[in-house]
Structure 1
Amino acid sequence: MTIEIRPITRAEAKDYLRVLPWANGLPQEEPEPSAWYAGRAANPPQRKATPEQLDRYAEELLTDWFRPQAAFVDGKIAGGSAIVSVELTLPGGRQVPMGGVTSTGVLPTYRRRGLLRKVMAAMLDDCRERGEFLAGLSASEATIYGRYGFAPATFQHRWEVRRTDAEFRTPFTDPGGLDLVDGATAAAIWPVLHEQVRAVRVGEVSPLPGKWSGLADGGLPADGRGPAHHLIHRDAGGQVDGAAIFRLPWSPDPDYAGELQVDAFEALNHDAHRALWGLLLDFDLTKRVVAARRPVDEPLRWMLANPRALKFARTRDNLWLNILDVQRALEARTYAAADAVVLEIDGVTWRLDASPDGAACTAAPGASADVSLTVSELGSLYLGGVRASEFRGAGRIAEHTAGAVSRLDALLQLDRAPHNAVGF
């Protein structure tokens, strides 16, 4: 058996697509209701790509931002994956290049032969060569990608509220206004709104080309959940400062009838946030609101008269990070305090001199480490979504200097939990 790992050529694009689960009508997600999906099904139905679709997808594949690698076994493509070029917002607001892993699959008849490990190694080498010191992905299964150095760094909630329970604690007078708009208007609004959001939200990623172009098409989505409706909020000056995409699917089951499903929601300030949820939670002829892709520190819970009314249906990891260059990564973000800590990461010792203005990270061979960890733990800690003390409690971080883990927590903490609503 001869194995070759390399980028695909244009002529091999369709063969590469044929190894991917989504092109074969196979599941792409674990069989549980996802935090990123507001519908009731465990997964949206899969449909095998038609020859015409494969032709179109193959033409779209080979661009500057899509970098596929394939595993050839005896000359045949048996597996593959790809890196997409995106940006990630770090603590402090810096937006840095990140290699996003996507479109991954190995044919069932070629599994357990190390093909994905070889493909992943080639892709991460490509990231390093291009100067990307971070790689990220959204894991279909939580047990796969840890072996390649990835670790969960951001998390999402899927929650629901019964309309009869959705009373707000205090009255509200909206200084702006709400409007229902068509898909074409929404398609023009969302890219601008998202750029404003990702400039200030740690963990957010840049969208892939054409992310919102489909909003203008309208009509029924492939999963049959009914057409999208577009709600926007404008401030007192007429500027859009919030938007939501929701659906009202029909259901033959009375238990699920009258359910409003929120697919996307963004607000730049409290007024937009309060006004948008105020309408979505009191829409005529509905009885329940289900929201997907919500941050773990969603403020709506504390705006309700009864905080228990917001019930969490699912919590799961979202963005997984792999730190490809420890020094560059630790110097790229800012910190919540000024302190110096010596970290032993996978046997290599680093001194981190951190402050709210930036940091210096230098190799410190022979220095006594305050804390020992692996690059996997660092990936989870990096954006502030997981505390070092949690890993210490799990036996995954060793503290050598009393109080060092608490000091590390103080350095990495954020005012808001990291969150990314846009995938890749």
Structure 2
Amino acid sequence: MPAPVPGGKIGRMTAFEVRPITDDERRSTLDLLRRALHTRRITDDAWARSAVSWPAEHKFAAFEGGDPIGIVSSFDTEIAVPGGRAVPVAAVDGVGVRADRTRRGVLSAMMAAQLGDFAARGLPLAVLHASEPTIYGRFGYGSAALGKTLRVARPAARFHERVPAVGDVRMLTPEEAVKELPALYERIGLHRPGMIARPDVWWPATHERHVGPDAGYLVAVHSGPDGDDGFVVYDTIGRRSLDSPDEGAVLDVRDLHAAGPAARAALWRFLLSVDLVSGVHARHRPVDEPLAVMLTDHRHAATLAVEDDLWLRPVDVEAALGARSYRAAGPVVLAVTDRTLTANTGHYEVGPDGVRRTSAAPDLALDVDTLGMLYLGQWSVTALAHAGRIEVRDEAAVARADELFTTVTAPWCGTHF
């Protein structure tokens, strides 16, 4: 177990320390996180169901006088990177500081301890969903995948006649949804850059509490020629009011995954066929999901927002760059600066044949958070250079780097954590 890390002092108050938590501190640190995120402390019944999803492993807390004042948590899993490989990744699933101890160095100390642990354990990458996007850039995370929010009008939205209708969709009972979806998600696989595997600890708190017998979400599964190949988890939100007594409900999509275009189209077709519904709302969908062009009138599928979704941090820059593939183009030399994990600072030659450290003069210079933005293919080198995030030393290298890093499919995570 890593040794405690002195955290510093809070004004005239007792110094705090950052250390791994013990089993006995699991519930108190979860309560701390929930209060920091403005939700209520967990009940005894809820803790009994979901405690397995909050193990002591990979959690660092800041303590003042024996009391937790901050927490950072993660779990180990795998992420798909460009080229199709699944590589180890730390998924940061909880960050919080007690309201009376914010902006005093507590978060910085905990994040430094967590990143040091990731590096010591040889993890090449870390990812998170940011509640406040302004926080994580200074710790080396970059916005690596975007998601769009869709609102589809019902009953106006109709599928184009050329969109195939194959297979069958069936509703699951809550018990079936808890039992069957883990294996189905694994069968669908990590087919987009940014998708992560869902380990056993993920399901009880993040899935079962929404679809289990005491929850309100509904689940439908698509079956194609080769068996089950897609699912959707959604809630029904009433819209009726005194002023609009005939307003239909809205289906709020929480989770939709499919192994291929036919299964995806069938699940959307199912959602748009549900009676007494005025619309379907879905947040954090892939930015290149072609639902609009599946319809006879694409205006009935409106994109309400495009937001940051997955944030990514290279923990071992050479290993991270070497894990993904690159398109055919001449190599470029990147000068990467990492102010926290300083061993990463250096020059890296990147090309279709691989990645290596080099002493050659750099073509492009960037900080590690910008490398995180570039890594999955969401952003182009041209766009980041125009924004001032990449310093161009050789103009000809920009086009080469664009070709090297681009991906055909937009990155997307699709997993809440």
Structure-2-length-normalised TM-score: 0.87
- CA distance change for structure 1 residues 216 and 139 in 2, over 3 Å: closer, same or farther? closer
Please list the CA deviations of residues 271-318 of structure 1 after superposition, one character each: whole Å capped at 9, or x if unmatched. 212222122113222121112231111111221222222112232111
Equivalent residue for 2:130, pick from 110, 134, 139: 139
Structure 1 stretch displaced more, 135-144 or 76-85:
76-85
Question: Over aligned residues, Cα RMSD in angstroms?
Answer: 2.3
Equivalent residue for 2:231, pick from 229, 234, 243: 243
What is the percentage of aligned positions where both structures have the same residue? 32
Quote the residue 1:14 is aligned against: 27
Please list the CA deviations of residues 59-114 of structure 1 after superposition, one character each: whole Å capped at 9, or x if unmatched. 76335xx4111112233321121121121111112111111222221111112210
8 A contact 2:211–2:217 mirrored in 1: no
8 A contact 2:122–2:316 mirrored in 1: no
1:214 Cα deviation (Å)?
A: 4.4
Quote the residue 2:8 is aligned against: none
Aligned residue identity for 1:228: Y
Matches within 5 A, 1:50-65: 50=43, 53=46, 61-62=54-55
8 A contact 1:342–1:349 mirrored in 2: no
Matches within 5 A, 1:11-410: 11-20=24-33, 22=34, 24=35, 27=37, 46-50=39-43, 53=46, 61-62=54-55, 66-209=57-200, 210-211=202-203, 212-214=207-209, 217-219=212-214, 221=215, 227-237=216-226, 239-253=227-241, 254=244, 257-346=248-337, 348-355=345-352, 359-362=354-357, 364-365=358-359, 367-410=360-403
> How far, CA to CA, are the matches of 2:185 and 2:74 in structure 1?
22
1:228 Cα deviation (Å)?
A: 2.3
Find the residue that maps to 1:202 and give its secondary structure. coil
- CA distance change for structure 1 residues 61 and 287 in 2, over 3 Å: closer, same or farther? closer
Quote the residue 2:11 is aligned against: none
- CA distance change for structure 1 residues 141 and 122 in 2, over 3 Å: closer, same or farther? same
Quote the residue 2:4 is aligned against: none
8 A contact 2:147–2:309 mirrored in 1: yes
Quote the residue 1:423 is aligned against: 416
> How far, CA to CA, are the matches of 1:349 and 1:2 in structure 2?
35
- CA distance change for structure 1 residues 410 and 172 in 2, over 3 Å: closer, same or farther? closer
Paired residues in the alignment total 391
Find the residue that maps to 2:269 and give its secondary structure. helix
> How far, CA to CA, are the matches of 2:119 and 2:163 in structure 1?
51
Find the residue that maps to 1:185 and give its secondary structure. helix
Find the residue that maps to 2:58 and give its secondary structure. strand
8 A contact 2:188–2:229 mirrored in 1: no
8 A contact 1:321–1:379 mirrored in 2: yes
1:256 Cα deviation (Å)?
A: 5.8
> How far, CA to CA, are the matches of 2:28 and 2:210 in structure 1?
30
8 A contact 1:68–1:81 mirrored in 2: yes
1:231 Cα deviation (Å)?
A: 1.8
Find the residue that maps to 1:379 and give its secondary structure. helix
Please list the CA deviations of residues 120-139 of structure 1 after superposition, one character each: whole Å capped at 9, or x if unmatched. 10111111111112111111
8 A contact 2:329–2:403 mirrored in 1: no
- CA distance change for structure 1 residues 103 and 240 in 2, over 3 Å: closer, same or farther? same
8 A contact 1:218–1:228 mirrored in 2: no
Structure 1 stretch displaced more, 115-124 or 312-321:
312-321
> How far, CA to CA, are the matches of 2:86 and 2:124 in structure 1?
12
> How far, CA to CA, are the matches of 1:231 and 1:181 in structure 2?
6
8 A contact 2:188–2:230 mirrored in 1: no
> How far, CA to CA, are the matches of 1:206 and 1:293 in structure 2?
17
- CA distance change for structure 1 residues 339 and 194 in 2, over 3 Å: closer, same or farther? farther
Structure 1 stretch displaced more, 72-81 or 149-158:
72-81
Q: Which runs of 5+ in 2 are unaligned?
A: 1-13, 339-344
Find the residue that maps to 2:369 and give its secondary structure. helix
> How far, CA to CA, are the matches of 2:52 and 2:81 in structure 1?
33
1:7 Cα deviation (Å)?
A: 0.7
8 A contact 1:14–1:55 mirrored in 2: no
> How far, CA to CA, are the matches of 1:81 and 1:147 in structure 2?
16
1:158 Cα deviation (Å)?
A: 1.4
- CA distance change for structure 1 residues 183 and 98 in 2, over 3 Å: closer, same or farther? same
1:55 Cα deviation (Å)?
A: 7.2
8 A contact 2:111–2:139 mirrored in 1: yes
Quote the residue 1:36 is aligned against: none
